[in-house]
Amino acid sequence: MENSNVTLPKLLRPAELSDHLGVPKPTIYSWVRRGDIPFVKLGGLVRFDPGEIHDWLKERKHPAWKKLLFLREAPSIG
């Protein structure tokens, strides 16, 4: 081993991620099948890197102020 000081992250199981995100476990598996969520496959086991999940969530964040700006700037019809 070249770098024995490398610390690997604790990978999350689907049930742990389900609890953390507050979504049903079948939703997690659906995201995996569709390739919507970053995951690691170890043999037949699916695991999730918490750092990658954090980044994935940040990419999907929709700030409320952007929605409000869009609604305010949208032309009124009628």
The pLDDT of 60-64, averaged and rounded, is 74
Question: Cβ–Cβ contacts within 10 Å for residue 27, how many?
Answer: 15
For 60, the domain range is: 14-73
pTM of the model: 0.72
Looking at the domain assignment, is residue 5 inside a domain? no
Is residue 63 situated within a structural domain?
yes
* Residue 26 domain flag: yes
Per-residue pLDDT at 15? 97
> Are 53 and 12 a contacting pair, CB within 8 Å?
yes
What is the distance between the alpha carbons of residues 53 and 19, in angstroms, rounded to a whole number?
14
Domains: count for the chain = 1
With pLDDT > 90 as the criterion, what percentage of the chain qualifies?
62
- 6 domain-assigned: no
Question: Is residue 20 very low, low, confident or very high in pLDDT (cuts 50, 70, 90)?
Answer: very high
Q: Which amino acid is located at 59 in the chain? A: E
Q: Is residue 36 part of a domain?
A: yes
In-domain check, residue 64: yes
pLDDT digits over 32-58, tens only? 999 999 999 999 999 999 999 999 998
Structural domain includes residue 1: no
Q: Is the dihedral of CA 25, 26, 29, 31 positive or negative?
A: negative
